[in-house]
Amino acid sequence: MPDIKVVTEVAGRICALPVEVGGAVGDGDDVAFVEAMKMEIPVASTAAGKIKTILVKIDDVVAEGQAIAIVET
């Protein structure tokens, strides 16, 4: 089964991670929230599966297009 990278579309600071490694996610489920321009922007999974790895932690600064998690489908 392929691994899917979940990437953020905005640069900012990770302010919430509502998932855990090993947890199930559906297509479109929020994996993280990035604080940018005083807004919390959700980062959604693009596939259903299980969280294999979380590549960031709370308060990490991320760039646009950066992978934040890996979903095992």
The fraction of the chain above a pLDDT of 70, given in percent, is: 99
> What is the reported pLDDT for 23?
97
Q: What is the pLDDT of residue 60?
A: 98
pLDDT score, position 15: 98
What is the reported pTM?
A: 0.92
Domains in the chain, CATH or no CATH each: 3-72 (2.40.50.100)
pLDDT given at position 16: 98
**What pLDDT does 6 receive?**
97
Q: How many CA atoms lie within 13 A of 16 on its CB side?
A: 12
Residue 28 Ramachandran class (φ > 0 left, ψ -120 to 50 alpha, else beta): left
Low-confidence ranges of the chain (pLDDT < 70): 1
Count of other CB atoms within 10 angstroms of residue 43: 22
Do 48 and 25 touch, CB atoms closer than 8 A?
Answer: yes
